[in-house]
Structure 1
């Protein structure tokens, strides 16, 4: 099995983009708001799992020689399968735990096959933006077709997926990520402002309609960290940072009350400081009695809930399902990626990676997903592709110069 980039393979096949789109489809989930046309959960699961199988098959077809680029991210992600399988093998969480283990294994195997094209370029950033923009397009279409279904009272009037069951936090996450990445591509002059506006403006509108605080904070803090890494080397980044600070100051003064009302979403200060009731679930999870093996390896992969309520914290979800071992591996993944990003010289790929890592780190406190096949692992996979060292070009062998024929009389003189 090869471990290097194929010499001469300068262009990523279009099939790789299709594989990435199938991975995105697989991680959309099967639960959420009621759709305009009711979709049975079994049908959605069939579509999402079929997408993962198709992604693996396509990735294998385009990489038949099994050439990969080994790295710490994929190694640690593969290592995460160990506590997942150990905890799920006891069947305490039912056969669904083993099914989720198989899904995670197939997900990781597909990333290994795609690692052949991880070369430090922004190729996968573009795939990421296109695929999630298509998802947001379906959300916008649902909003146009049926505003009542897209802004239901059940979710407090927040935007949901009316064509595909997507929750407000999911939509906010997708919008925030592609906004941040597109802004960075503009600053790096990898796209024009017109094309960027087509992505950024509608995504900002959808983000605002979701009233998702985590996504908004992740976008702002992640962009601040990413642009800060470019300030010393990019005049465009310095200008953008200056204007962003000025606009933020004006917005805070002129629209402070409106922004505060949007941020609180009609909730009391006490309810807001308890993370909208999440702390009750977190305290109950930590107080629950566990055997030594359950503390070490967890209870098995589940639906990221405890007592029928969502955990909404990546670290506690990993601790609950994969134990302290899984939590340590996930922490290593984040720390290693962040460490590599900080050690790299300033560049656009490094800035995009910093944005994605920062966003995932911030969202991990109120969202679950770092320990299983999820959009967050896809974000980190894009960061890993951006931090991969460019493949060394193999110099082509220069044709040997024809030997000059020496006359016999000259040879005799020599």
Structure 2
């Protein structure tokens, strides 16, 4: 019995003779255009407000680039999935339902016509994710695209630091690292660095990449994270990695070794460099300013004390720029409550609970560990960062987690062909022998 090794061919032999592959299987892997569409979604969520750049970029130009990236991502996703085939996803269903309170509140135009524009952007963002869900099969393909694109963004930050250190470390931000070529704030840079560090570490622990390639990503990202002095990203990275690697300890010797070395390094750092770490963590702030979360608590108290109608409590005031009284809210839950009401808070809570519950039910694996890291990081960052209720990097991180938790696509099943009918030959009467009377 011979074996045909051509792609898509079936072994020959008596058990498969006359068989043909099922005509509707999913492709073996997503085409390159899918990774490009994912990168364009990341470009769309970079934002248009931030530090002053070396070459002044008009905000209208930046918005044109980011919105053009979203439109291009949707067009590419539709082109590669022309006869839309999607995979059922509770995450995407909840995001689609989140559009309902957003549109209801924005229709009052309390936040201006910009609210309706943001609703259209969120709808296009969710629609693109629906089209890309066809390739959500629990593999690490989107993880690699995520790391590559955010590493390219960090590369622009590093280039700005080399070209103009003064613009990259301005006094306006207390000497913290910002984007000098593209307007990125320290929390944004810290978030991107922490996410790709965590994902790359998990790929190394799971032996899905070599150490040399991982070091090229982790080391410069750690340097940039340290220069941003971003506490939320640092805590999210440490806690998220602890939970993710903890999910692999029982089944992976590499995870156990990494966890033991990590505990040893943290202990040595805490003993030997405790004062330096404390100074880095406080960023020169007073204890009172630190306990008020750098002034965020005053904005939160004012937002909660604001009188609201029943409709505003249920559906919010419409999608805005995540600010209250001209100051940033910097809390995803309060931002969702302000813009999408209690309905939005319930839906966003359901997103975290559903993804977390599915992750706990999956067997230990590297994709599951990556999903746990992303979910826990977003949950931690939601306390001091806004973004869970609108098109943002946090929704993309959670979309990546949803793709990692999706069940693998079923393999193509060979369908046997009916045996061809063999015509019966007419036998002459004399061939049966002499008749016996």
Range class of TM-score, shorter chain = over 0.9
Q: Which runs of 5+ in 1 are unaligned?
A: none
Partner of 1:90: 108
In structure 2, distance between residues paired with 1:300 and 1:407 = 81
Answer yes or no: is 1:180 the counterpart of 2:198: yes
State the secondary structure of the residue aligned to 2:79: helix
Is 2:26–2:409's contact at 8 Å kept on the other side of the alignment? no
Cα displacement (A) at 1:301: 0.2
Of 336, 350, 354, which residue of structure 2 is paired with 1:318?
336
State the secondary structure of the residue aligned to 2:415: coil
Q: Deviations over 1:134-179 (max 9, x none)?
A: 0000000000100000000000000000000000000000000000
Cα displacement (A) at 1:329: 0.2
Q: Deviations over 1:321-371 (max 9, x none)?
A: 000000100000010000000011101110000000000000000000000
Partner of 2:57: 39
Of 261, 274, 279, which residue of structure 1 is paired with 2:292?
274
State the secondary structure of the residue aligned to 1:80: helix
Partner of 1:328: 346
Of 384, 388, 393, which residue of structure 2 is paired with 1:375?
393
Is 2:169–2:177's contact at 8 Å kept on the other side of the alignment? yes
Answer yes or no: is 1:148 the counterpart of 2:166: yes
Answer yes or no: is 1:29 the counterpart of 2:55: no
Partner of 1:242: 260
| Equivalent runs, 1:264-303 vs 2, <5 Å | 264-303=282-321
| Equivalent runs, 1:161-200 vs 2, <5 Å | 161-200=179-218
More deviation, 398-407/309-318: 398-407
Answer yes or no: is 1:80 the counterpart of 2:102: no
Q: RMSD in angstroms over aligned alpha carbons?
A: 1.7
TM-score by length of 2: 0.91
Partner of 2:28: 10
In structure 2, distance between residues paired with 1:35 and 1:192 = 36
State the secondary structure of the residue aligned to 2:284: coil
Answer yes or no: is 1:230 the counterpart of 2:248: yes
Partner of 1:62: 80
State the secondary structure of the residue aligned to 1:161: coil
In structure 1, distance between residues paired with 2:419 and 2:175 = 76
In structure 1, distance between residues paired with 2:209 and 2:413 = 31
Cα displacement (A) at 1:394: 2.7
Runs of 4+ in structure 1 off by over 4 angstroms are: 399-409
Cα displacement (A) at 1:395: 0.7
Partner of 1:359: 377
In structure 2, distance between residues paired with 1:158 and 1:188 = 34
Is 2:248–2:255's contact at 8 Å kept on the other side of the alignment? yes
Of 58, 66, 71, which residue of structure 1 is paired with 2:89?
71
Partner of 2:11: none
Q: Which runs of 5+ in 2 are unaligned?
A: 1-22
More deviation, 389-398/273-282: 389-398
In structure 2, distance between residues paired with 1:6 and 1:93 = 47
State the secondary structure of the residue aligned to 1:397: strand
